[in-house]
Structure 1
């Protein structure tokens, strides 16, 4: 039995929220730890990052390690950074078995969202995942499209 690969295209709905005269943020639903969460789609974030408080509450046994790097952006100058190996992240039909993510204090984002009546977010889906899965963001259709290779078993007849 030989294996061939085909491209799997996953389209996920986006919720575009209005930041009250301060722009818009696209939000996407993800599955993690058997629960559904909301993440901000952030093309300016080089790496996917999770809010330290929210991810710890969602999975108390998750191992979070201190990082020597300071993170910049996200509305602050610099902040202490941690990392975690995240397993079983689902974005629509896309299953990401394991990847390393930043873990940061994103409480200022969640406080601001709460003041505007928006939902609490687990974190930001960053450029690492968006690039790896060839993301296409369509604001008009309010969709995020991701691509991945899907192995398929096929029978190949070898002629000699």
Structure 2
């Protein structure tokens, strides 16, 4: 079943004239596997995936080296000044990090999280690096909820297995 799902994702992937790839909607098999279309960023070599943040489409970096899932402060109407003020009243991830913690709803494929505590920070520089809007980073706190995370570069997909 896993290979059938991977094959369907592969077959549905179409290259556009711009060199960016059009991807099928994520899907889930009956054995707990979630297939996500992989958006490769050729400039940085990073893996981007599509999901939803508070019900709105979002692009997220899949980062196995990030301990904590994080979303952009702009998605919550927070400015850098707001982050600094809020940080003084909350815990942060580092001594100088302007990070606040919020409970949010988000999803990746058929996997969803309700009121999960995540970091909120200014990700504007990250969006500049990717030359596209990046709404968040999926970190190990989320990825470790799966038994395995398989990245298949050839077929342009990520498989999350519960």
CA offsets 1:4-52 (integer angstroms, 9 cap, x no match): xx85111111100112xxx411110001222111001111100100111
Gaps of 5+ in 1: 1-5, 59-64, 73-77, 149-160
CA displacement at 1:85 relative to structure 2: 0.5
CA displacement at 1:147 relative to structure 2: 2.5
2:137 aligned residue: 124
1:68 aligned residue: 91
Measured at CA, do residues 25 and 71 of structure 1 come closer, stay the same or move farther in structure 2, by a change above 3 Å? farther
When structure 1 is superposed on structure 2, of 30-39 and 134-143 the one drifting more is 134-143
1:81 aligned residue: 99
CA offsets 1:93-129 (integer angstroms, 9 cap, x no match): 1122231111111111112222xxxx20101111111
When structure 1 is superposed on structure 2, of 132-141 and 27-36 the one drifting more is 132-141
RMSD: 2.2
Structure 1 residue 145 and structure 2 residue 159: aligned? yes
Aligned mate of 1:56, from 73, 76, 101: 76
Aligned length: 123
State the structure with bigger RCO (CA 8 A, min sep 6), 1 or 2.
1
More helix by share: 2
1:153 aligned residue: none
When structure 1 is superposed on structure 2, of 26-35 and 39-48 the one drifting more is 26-35
2:112 aligned residue: 95
More strand by share: 1
Cα distance in structure 1, aligned partners of 2:91 and 2:107: 28
CA displacement at 1:56 relative to structure 2: 1.4
Runs (4+) off by over 6 Å: none
Q: Highest CA radius of gyration, 1 or 2?
A: 1
CA displacement at 1:79 relative to structure 2: 2.2
